[in-house]
Amino acid sequence: MIDPAVDPIGGTTAEAEALDAYSSLVVSVAKQLTPSVASLRLTAGGGRRGSGSGVSVTPDGYLLTSAHVVDGFKAGRAEFIDGSDLAFEVIGSDPLSDLAVIRVRGEVAPAVLGDADRLQVGQLVVAIGNPMGYGGSVTAGVVSGLHRSLSTRQGSASRIVENVIQTDAALNPGNSGGALADGRARLIGINTAVAGMGLGLAVPINATTLKILGSLLQSGRVRRGYLGVAGGRRPLPRALARVLDREAGVEILEVVAGSPAERAGLHVGDIILDLDGRPIQGAGDLQRLMVDEIIGRDLPARIIRGGEYLNLTLTPAELPAR
């Protein structure tokens, strides 16, 4: 006689029901979001080809994808799960966030945007994309880690993308630009990199990303401030840390010739404590201030040089396009 509390293929009925609930959730997310995800095919002169994924974010044809997917391309075709195959053009690209916007001619089903800042480690996520050319592929996993960082580069400029999502949902070449969704089918990330076996990374959908998206939709590019320095976190002496109520500043390791930093009188070895009245304890603090609103503004800076306080005025320029 079979115990009703035991599943015939092994395990308890409760375990089988839990598995069904998990499967049902993944299926629900896939049904809701897959129509918004496109398989991208790109072509350029000389027979150069590329592929990736994209996610529609507006009903009038705008899709979000990865900047490295469209790098060097101006147009291509987007195929959706319903079989529609639409031409698209690249509207704008921001390599320093690894995000880009393309537009197809026609109406599409937009994804519902979520907020990656609300994610928790262990939370279910579903990845949908075009790995190895297999459009509409779905994988599931969990948020393995939060607040990861991803280094990006545009010409001589580099930037750290912050709050990157780490997941064990299987990602493969072609998944880049595809969707990472939560259990309610809300888009919370754009898959960007496979960092190793069982280790995928996604650029988060949050307030910072939405601002970048808005700039790309409006002008096709993202304006950023530029000082022309390279630096790193420098712990402060204990006595000074107590006085300032902070642990570190940013030590200048390089000053680019002819840059705003050089014109302001910054030297290698200086430690920046404050900029525009805001504490600077790491390179990320400095980076977050380099938004378009500060371009051309005179910003007061407090630094330490040779054990003495100095007050300088920095005027960021616009980060030049590559």
Is the Cβ–Cβ distance between 163 and 117 less than 8 Å?
yes
Catalytic residue among 56, 68, 215, 270: 68
Is the Cβ–Cβ distance between 119 and 28 less than 8 Å?
no
Q: Which among 225, 223, 232, 187 has a CA at the least distance from the CA of 206?
A: 187
- Measured over the CA atoms of residue 11, residue 16, residue 17 and residue 23, the dihedral's sign is positive
Q: Is residue 133 classed exposed, middle or buried when 0-12, 13-18 and 19+ CB atoms within 10 A define those classes?
A: exposed
Active site residue 68: yes
Helical residues (DSSP H) of 155-296, grouped into ranges: 207-219, 238-244, 260-264, 283-289
Active site residue 267: no
Catalytic residue among 36, 66, 93, 98: 98
Distance CA 176, CA 41 (A): 12
Distance CA 50, CA 76 (A): 9
For residue 182, which amino acid is it?
D
Catalytic residue among 51, 144, 176, 215: 176
Output the six-digit token pair for 255.
Answer: 């000053």
Q: Residue 100 CA to chain centroid, in angstroms?
A: 11
In the block, tokens 């603090």 appear at 285
Distance CA 171, CA 156 (A): 29
Output the six-digit token pair for 127.
Answer: 């990845």
Active site residue 147: no
What is the total residue count of the chain?
322
Return the percent helix, strand and coil in the chain, to nearest 5: 20, 45, 35
Q: Which among 235, 72, 76, 55 has a CA at the least distance from the CA of 128?
A: 55
Is the Cβ–Cβ distance between 251 and 270 less than 8 Å?
yes
Report the catalytic residues: 68, 98, 176
